[in-house]
Amino acid sequence: MNFGFGQAHAKAHLLGEHSVVYGYPAIIAPLLSLTNKAEIIDSDTTVIETDNFSGSMYQLNYRFSGIYNLLVELLNFFESPDLTFKLHVKSNIPSKKGLGSSAAYAVSIVKAFCDYFDYQYTDEEVFKFAQIAENKNHGKSSGGDTYAVMAEGPIFFDSNKDATILKLNTQAYIIIADSGTAGLTSQAVQLVADNYEKNPTVYGGYLKRMGEIADKGREEIIADDLKDFGQLMNENQLLLSKLGVSTPYLERLIKITLKHGALGAKLTGGGLGGSIVALTDKSETAKEIKSALSKSGASESWISKI
Ligand code: PMV
């Protein structure tokens, strides 16, 4: 009996979501404790089982056409269009929270198929396949999430859609909090596109500045300067708010982290809900921020070393 396994993890944008859709760079950190695991085994009939779906390929196409398209492409690539299989996907990444759950789904499935067919893949190949689902899900996906959910360290995702790992030589912690409200990535991407179309000079200026911030952030990481990196996160948040994708509740959670000693904080991912991310260089401060966020109503929070 043939078996294949694939895994991917969550991510948080430290700098540059939205502007990354317009070709500017972004810095994205992996959240290794939140994972998505896919298993594929031979079966007489094809069944796909996930945390919120169980059904055939036909039913999958109806509910999750991005993943359906991805599976069709994978079966064609492996010259097995008639293969029948059981695909089981299990995730502890909250969905619609700006944490890259959809990219992690797609990447773990691609890796499980490669394992099943004993195929040595490159990250670029996984990326190309996973983007079939991501582009369908988000309308227009930058691809940054897809690399970040595969990476073992923070990545600098550049305008050529290449990802390089950034090495930090000092202690750094990020605290991620789920606001409890759903992030609306495709609506947020559309909102930014509409605003940009209405006023390209102003909104184009915001997006360009966000790109400059991500470039500067890369230099600060190379220089191990977390204080300046935190300031860049704060400026990035101001611009996200001007783009129209922040919410009063996200702003409130961000303020709480800064009050408890965060070096910088912002929303992460598409916004209009979802999660925030805060930065500190001290593990005690990280714990204090986490506890303050829980007391303020954040539904879940995590500390991750970067
Ligand atoms: O909300 P998430 O985790 O899917 O992140 C979206 C990030 C955006 O920059 C808004 C979109 C993209 O494709 O990069």
- Which ligand 1 atom is the nearest neighbour of the CA of 19? 9
The number of distinct structural domains making up the chain is: 2
145 a catalytic residue: yes
Q: What is the pLDDT of residue 137?
A: 81
Considering the domain architecture, whether residues 197 and 64 belong to the same structural domain is answered as no
Q: What is the pLDDT of residue 174?
A: 98
**By the 8 A CB rule, do 257 and 289 touch?**
yes
**By the 8 A CB rule, do 41 and 89 touch?**
no
CATH code for the domain in which residue 101 is found: 3.30.230.10
pLDDT, tens digit, for every residue of 30-69?
A: 999 999 999 999 999 999 999 989 999 999 999 999 999 9
pLDDT, tens digit, for every residue of 168-219?
A: 999 999 999 999 999 889 899 999 999 999 999 999 999 999 999 999 999 9
In DSSP terms, 301 is beta-bridged to 177
Whether 125 has a pLDDT exceeding 80, the answer reads yes
Considering the domain architecture, whether residues 14 and 153 belong to the same structural domain is answered as yes
- Which ligand 1 atom is the nearest neighbour of the CA of 16? 9
Whether 114 has a pLDDT exceeding 90, the answer reads yes
Which residues form the pocket of ligand 1, taking CB atoms under 6 Å from any ligand atom? 17-18, 20-21, 98-100, 138, 141-142, 144-145, 183, 185, 189, 269-270
- Substitution site in 131, 137, 142, 178 for ligand 1 pocket (most atoms within 8 Å of beta carbon): 142
Domain that holds residue 272: 168-305
**By the 8 A CB rule, do 136 and 65 touch?**
yes
CA of 269 to the centre of ligand 1 (A): 5
**Mean pLDDT for the stretch of residues 96-108:** 95
CA of 21 to the centre of ligand 1 (A): 8
**Mean pLDDT for the stretch of residues 253-276:** 97
**Residue 19 maps to a domain:** yes
Considering the domain architecture, whether residues 290 and 204 belong to the same structural domain is answered as yes
Provide the pLDDT confidence category of residue 116 given band limits of 50, 70 and 90: very high
Residue 142's contacts (CB-CB under 8 Å, 6 or more residues apart) are 20, 21, 26, 157, 161
The catalytic residue among 145, 162, 215, 224 is: 145
Average pLDDT, the chain: 96
Protein residue with least CA distance to atom 5, ligand 1: 269
Whether 280 has a pLDDT exceeding 80, the answer reads yes
Question: DSSP secondary-structure letter at 157?
Answer: E
**Mean pLDDT for the stretch of residues 19-31:** 97
CA of 42 to the centre of ligand 1 (A): 34
CATH code for the domain in which residue 298 is found: 3.30.70.890
Q: What is the pLDDT of residue 159?
A: 81
Q: What is the pLDDT of residue 36?
A: 97
CA of 109 to the centre of ligand 1 (A): 20
Interface confidence, given as ipTM, is: 0.98
Q: What is the pLDDT of residue 41?
A: 97
Pairwise CA distance, residues 94 & 297, whole Å: 16
Whether 28 has a pLDDT exceeding 90, the answer reads yes
Considering the domain architecture, whether residues 246 and 123 belong to the same structural domain is answered as no
CA of 184 to the centre of ligand 1 (A): 10
- Substitution site in 102, 138, 179 for ligand 1 pocket (most atoms within 8 Å of beta carbon): 138
Considering the domain architecture, whether residues 7 and 43 belong to the same structural domain is answered as yes
DSSP for 169-230? -S--EEEEEE-SS---HHHHHHHHHHHHHH-HHHHHHHHHHHHHHHHHHHHHHHTT-HHHHH
Question: DSSP secondary-structure letter at 301?
Answer: E
